[in-house]
Chains A and B, each alone.
Chain A
Amino acid sequence: METPANRVAVPSATASGILAAVEGYATQVQAVAGAEVSKLRHDPSEILTRAIQPAIWLVLFGEVMAQVRGITSDSTRYLDFLAPGILAQSVLFAAIFYGIAAIWERDLGVLHRYMVSPAPRSALVLGKALSAGIRGLTQSVVVYILAIVLGIGVDLNPLHLLGVAVIIALGSALFSTFSLIIACIVRTRERFMGIGQVLTMPIFFASNAIYPIDLMPGWLQAISRANPLTYQVDALRALMLTGGQSKFGLGVDCAVLVLATTVLVVIAARIYPRMTA
């Protein structure tokens, strides 16, 4: 008889064995992400409260800065330039919250249930990353609606929308996993609160989210080019806006995001179990 125990136990090298292993892994990732979707469904109010921040940035900050000449070339309206940056920002801020949620889950005891299960740690981390991706997508819908209301030239080509969804999911996965790693290192909510702010602001300001990299002094340009958020925003500018252009190329943007996410997931899978030790 096939019990769950020996399904986990026998990593057979046959094709069907590999298929079963992959299917099992996917099920475990889905277990974590599915729980998150259920929670969002039970209490969707969070999606709306999180819409306030991007609205403030676009309406208050954006409308004022749009009066300043020289931030963007004359052919590009500043509000159009800003919208993809604010989309990336709202997703970043939601993803950075994942670390504190992980500490919260540990303090409650919920994390123990995950950690004593036979699911590989990387499946747990990926499940969380996928959850963040789903949350990021719900955020994006809100920002798109805001952008349309503000008369920003949003590109509604289905293929480009799909591209945006992929980039948002990748960016969410990347920054939520980064946040999880920080949480595993600092371990307490209080310390995370302090460090979360300190990390989010440089990631946001040392990127091309609200101004072009070309305006920055050389040293800041170097930092921005090493910042994955820059590549996320770059890809979003190409895909979200009608006639939008990518500075680095979509291939480079995607490669950077995938690579950074992979490295972070590998690190997180190694140190996540420390949370319950």
Chain B
Amino acid sequence: MDIRNVPAETASVAPGFEQGYAVRTRGLTKAFDGHVVVDHVDLEVRDGEIFGLIGPNGAGKSTLIKMLTTLLPPTSGEATVAGCDLLREARLVRARIGYVPQLLSADGALTGRENLLLSARLYLLPRKERAERIAEALAMTGLEGAADRPAQNYSGGMLRRLEIAQSTLHRPRLLIMDEPTVGLDPVARNAIWDHVRDLRTRFGTTILITTHVMEEVEALCDRVGILHHGRLEKVGTPAALKAEIGPDATLDDVFAQIAGTDIEMGDEHGNARESRRSAIGHG
């Protein structure tokens, strides 16, 4: 079944929702104590694409993701996520998206299987299908052999795969991942990339990732949005963004051109809390 083509099943389709977009925001803004962190962002993620959100530390990526996952209420603006209104139908949004946070979100004291069972119950997977879906998810992530070991004994790559399995057990229409390959070795990173592509192929899942790694963008993303000082500065295919700069430009050049101004300005706009959190994530 192609989830992309399933019409929004309920009568409660948000006004303004247009078919074909997994995410659509209008003037989405977040300010903390008058300090604007996300500034009137109009983001469109098309159904079925892998969209990369890049930007320097403190650009507002994490705050934007927190709003899209309903964890943080926006200061102003509106959005439809997975066909539902972000403000009025938050619970429905949560039922239709999967989220892999930057921080470790699997419970280390539980086994892989127990972690998956937790998600299966929270997302109300029909009882009859639970065991089958969990087995399938374990197979897809190559964790069958480790399923009954506590997750705290997993390697970084295994944990990430478990977390993705937990977040996609309910076959979300949209999977959001916050820096999914930070701290992973190249082999583990490639395994994650393969898995993400596989999810799209098999289930038509739309994928929105944030990343610092330009290699990840090249390997995965159909389109990229560059966030800087809370504004969505540029959106396009990796090839188009490179072509804008010059014939031999790399994505690093694109990133440096946009983020470069930061170096002159110091880090006064940097969100200290966000940087600290990512420091924990990296450690």
Question: Which residues of A does B touch, CB under 8 Å?
Answer: 1-10, 24, 27-28, 30-32, 34-35, 38-39, 42-43, 108-110, 112-120, 273, 276-277
Write out the residue numbers on chain B whose beta carbons fall within 8 Å of the beta carbon of A28. 121-122, 124
Write out the residue numbers on chain A whose beta carbons fall within 8 Å of the beta carbon of B111. 38
Selected from B73, B95, B97, the residue in CB contact (under 8 A) with A9 is: B95
Write out the residue numbers on chain A whose beta carbons fall within 8 Å of the beta carbon of B206. none
* Size of interface on B: residues with Cβ below 8 Å to A: 43
Selected from A5, A27, A113, the residue in CB contact (under 8 A) with B121 is: A27
Selected from B66, B71, B91, B106, the residue in CB contact (under 8 A) with A118 is: B91
> Known: A8-B124, A35-B110. Contact between A116 and B99, CB under 8 A?
yes
Selected from A4, A6, A112, the residue in CB contact (under 8 A) with B99 is: A112
Q: Nearest-CB distance from A277 to chain B (Å)?
A: 5
The answer to whether B170 touches A42 (Cβ under 8 A) is no
Q: Nearest-CB distance from B266 to chain A (Å)?
A: 28
The answer to whether A31 touches B170 (Cβ under 8 A) is no
Main secondary structure of the interface of A (DSSP, over half): helix
The answer to whether B121 touches A39 (Cβ under 8 A) is no
> Known: A109-B101, A113-B119. Contact between A277 and B95, CB under 8 A?
no
| Complex alpha-carbon distance, A1 and B121, angstroms | 19
Any A CB within 8 A of the CB of B92? yes
The answer to whether B123 touches A112 (Cβ under 8 A) is no
Q: Nearest-CB distance from B118 to chain A (Å)?
A: 5
Write out the residue numbers on chain A whose beta carbons fall within 8 Å of the beta carbon of B91. 8, 118, 120
Selected from B95, B103, B114, the residue in CB contact (under 8 A) with A112 is: B103
Q: Lowest 10 A-B CB distances belong to which pairs?
A: A109-B103, A31-B121, A118-B95, A117-B122, A8-B95, A116-B99, A118-B94, A113-B105, A112-B101, A5-B95
The answer to whether A31 touches B122 (Cβ under 8 A) is yes
Write out the residue numbers on chain A whose beta carbons fall within 8 Å of the beta carbon of B119. 113, 117
Selected from A38, A115, A118, A276, the residue in CB contact (under 8 A) with B124 is: A118
Write out the residue numbers on chain A whose beta carbons fall within 8 Å of the beta carbon of B103. 108-109, 112
User: Chain B: which residue is nearest A106 at the CB level?
Assistant: B103
Q: Nearest-CB distance from A13 to chain B (Å)?
A: 14
Can you spell out 11 A-B residue pairs with CB atoms less than 8 angstroms apart? A5-B96, A8-B92, A9-B92, A31-B122, A35-B118, A38-B111, A42-B110, A109-B102, A109-B103, A113-B118, A116-B71
Q: Nearest-CB distance from B61 to chain A (Å)?
A: 16
| Complex alpha-carbon distance, A99 and B94, angstroms | 25
The answer to whether A3 touches B9 (Cβ under 8 A) is yes
> Known: A4-B170, A116-B94, A117-B119. Contact between A9 and B124, CB under 8 A?
no
- Given contacts A8-B91, A35-B118, 8 further A-B pairs with CB under 8 A are A4-B170, A6-B10, A8-B124, A27-B121, A34-B117, A109-B101, A117-B122, A118-B123
The answer to whether B110 touches A38 (Cβ under 8 A) is yes
| Complex alpha-carbon distance, A4 and B6, angstroms | 14
| Complex alpha-carbon distance, A118 and B102, angstroms | 20
Any A CB within 8 A of the CB of B278? no
